Amino acid sequence: MTEFLTSQFGVSTLLAIIVIGTLLGTTAYCIYFERKIAGFIQDRPGPNRVGPGGIFQLVADGLKFVFKEDVIPGHVDKPLFVLAPAIIFLVAFIAFAAIPWGGQWEIADGRFVDIQVANPDIGLLYILGVASMSVYGIVLGGWASNNKYSLMGAIRATAQMLSYEIPLGLCILVIVLTMGTLRLEDITLQQTDYWLGFIPQWNVFLHPIAFGILFVTALAEANRTPFDLVEAEQELVGGFHTEYSALKFGMFFLSEYAHMITTSALITVLFLGGWHFPWITWTQPEATHFGAVVVKIIVLCAKVAGFIFVMMWLRWTLPRFRFDQLMRLAWKGLIPVTLALFVLAAVLVYFGLHRSVWALVGNAVILLVTLLVAGSSRTEVTGRASNLPPIGVGPIPPGVREAGVSG
């Protein structure tokens, strides 16, 4: 038994169980924090009735989801209708298998195990492939619902996810070119050195633009505001999950948050050095005892929590994009910039300068060119007052002043 538990397979199995369990709890708590943050931003306390500070609100919500009547409308395509939430839920959770949580653990003298459910050579491809599967859940849900609002939501989701996967993929390619590997653990390890002895070699300092764009596309992939046109209550009732109720709706709801956690963890590993943090010796790759593993996991989770907070903060700050604006941002904005970044990374790799200050210089040049192009653009900005028929411009017409009511 101890033999099994100390093998890589045993540790992976145990880790899978722990990760799934923790993750289910964490996604549920994400909903609570989302509501709390929404409350604070809107000058109100948020949920505070169930338990101290409302921390048992999610238990109440979960019980409500479980005990509500699970309506399957008569007009739906039943097998697909049931399958859709299962797919989206599964896909949101299996992506975690390749996330490197805490480097290596020296479980016995000279025997190391990875704190990672699976450490495939193509970990990055695995996450990308699995993440792009989630569009199936949405499309099937929308299609099977046999409802025009659901279908419109699903169509929007397809177009949006396809469009935003291009800049997402290109941003990741920039990192793959720079790091020369698809294995997430190796990408983390390569970021643990220092420049000038104190700046950690995190990729965010090499390719800040790619970092920003990856964050934006991650929001779009997770269907978070300002890219939540898939749901768009005002236009589409609830989008693809209009017809869903009870636990099936709960699965859609939870998987959105699971998706947020996955993408945050991915960005953390790719750009912020994963479990590495400067000045804490226990988060260096040399530290492999159990305490170090725990500290590394905490560091990674703290970074992920930071991302999730920013995503929630953005959600309660920004209004939703219009669909044409969404498409314009992807095709005319993000894709050209990421293509330029990709070319930059390729050129730097060719000259062997991909981990030097030249990457930053290239980024600055690209930002400058983007600003110039954007500034010289004469594209009409829709929805502004200049496109509306004139009202009340110019001198005040005679008689208006005298017609005013006294007092």
Partner 1 sequence: MIEDKDILVVDHDQPPLSAAERLYIPQILEGMKTTVRHFGKTIFKGPITVQYPEERRELRVENYRGIHRLNRDEQGRVACVACFMCSTACPADCIHIEGAESPWDDREKYPVKFDIDELRCIYCGMCEEACPVDAIELTPGYDLVGRSREEMIFDKEQLLAIYDETKGIKPRKNPRITGYPRTEDPAGGHTANSGEADA
Site residues (vs partner 1, CB under 8 A): 37, 39-45, 48, 313-314, 316-318, 370-372, 374-378, 381, 384-386, 388, 390-393, 396, 400-402, 404, 406
**Whose Cβ is closer to partner 1: residue 108's or residue 388's?**
388
Three-state secondary structure of 121-154: CCHHHHHHHHHHHHHHHHHHHHHHCCCHHHHHHH
Label residues 262-275 b or e (16+ Cβ within 10 Å = b): bbbbbbbbbbbbbb
> Min. distance of Cβ 385 from partner 1 in angstroms?
5
| Shortest distance, position 308 Cβ to partner 1, whole Å | 15
Shortest gap between Cβ of 168 and partner 1 (angstroms)?
A: 18
Distance in Å, CB of 264 to partner 1, minimum: 17
**Count of Cβ atoms closer than 10 Å to residue 170 Cβ:** 22
- Which residue lies nearer to partner 1 by CB, 127 or 171? 171
Closest approach, Cβ 158 to partner 1, in A, equals 24
Residue 147: HSE in the Cβ half-sphere, 13 Å Cα cutoff: 21
Q: What angle do CA 306, 137, 231 make, to 5 degrees?
A: 65
For partner 1, which is the closer residue by CB, 196 or 385? Answer: 385
Nearer to partner 1, 196 or 400 (CB): 400
DSSP state letters, 209-265: HHHHHHHHHHHHHTT-TTS-TTT-HHHHTTGGGTT--HHHHHHHHHHHHHHHHHHHH
Q: Which is nearer to partner 1, 352 or 399 (CB)?
A: 399
Q: Report the residue number, 43 or 69, with the smaller CB distance to partner 1.
A: 43
**Could you tell me the smallest distance in angstroms from the CB atom of residue 322 to partner 1?**
13
Residue 341 in tokens:
């970044």
d(CA 48, CA 57): 8
